């Protein structure tokens, strides 16, 4: 089992940047696929990005491709989401999630979730 804790959220103006972190407990972090998801008020949760257990494979939602970068440090048991050129439509609670096996974009396939961190982008 793994416990996840996000940090790094906040309020920025459009065009700004934020770096989210997700710290994981447990000694098996390096075996998990890690994903980032977000949920805006009144909307369903949506996939943002995913990274394979070894970090060699990443995949992004079209809405963030070219602006967001997912990475991981298996020594520090942490996954990151670097968010650049932020837009007001990026405003949401951002969650990290973990699963075994292959990378996936469906949130239902993930077994563990963090509590979320709020990102607010003003125009």
Q: pLDDT tens track of the chain, all 123 residues? A: 899 999 999 999 999 999 999 999 977 898 999 999 999 999 999 999 999 999 999 999 999 999 999 999 999 999 999 999 999 999 999 999 999 999 999 999 999 999 999 999 999
pLDDT computed for residue 6 by the predictor:
98
CA dist 21 and 68 (Å) reads 13
Residue length of the chain: 123
Q: Compute how many other C-beta atoms are within 10 angstroms of the C-beta atom of residue 2.
A: 18
Give the β-pairing of 33-39 and 68-73. unpaired
CB neighbourhood size of 54 (10 A) = 11
Measured distance CA(118)–CA(123) in Å, rounded: 16
Q: Give which of 104, 79, 87, 102 is closest to 24, Cα–Cα.
A: 79
Which residue is listed with tokens 């999630």? 97
**SS3 of residue 68 by DSSP:** strand
Cα–Cα distance for residue pair 65/41, rounded to 1 Å:
22
Predicted pLDDT at 112: 96
């Amino acid at each position: 089992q793994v416990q996840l804790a996000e940090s790094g959220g906040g309020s920025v103006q459009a065009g700004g940047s934020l770096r989210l972190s997700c710290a994981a407990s447990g000694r098996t972090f390096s075996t998990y696929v890690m994903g980032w998801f977000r949920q805006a008020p009144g909307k369903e949760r949506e996939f943002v990005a995913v990274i394979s257990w070894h970090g060699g494979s990443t995949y992004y939602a079209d809405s963030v491709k070219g602006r967001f970068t997912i990475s991981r440090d298996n020594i520090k048991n942490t996954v990151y989401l670097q968010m650049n050129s932020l837009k007001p439509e990026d405003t949401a609670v951002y969650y990290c999630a973990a699963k075994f096996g292959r990378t996936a974009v469906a949130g239902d396939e993930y077994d563990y979730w963090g509590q979320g961190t709020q990102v607010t982008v003003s125009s």
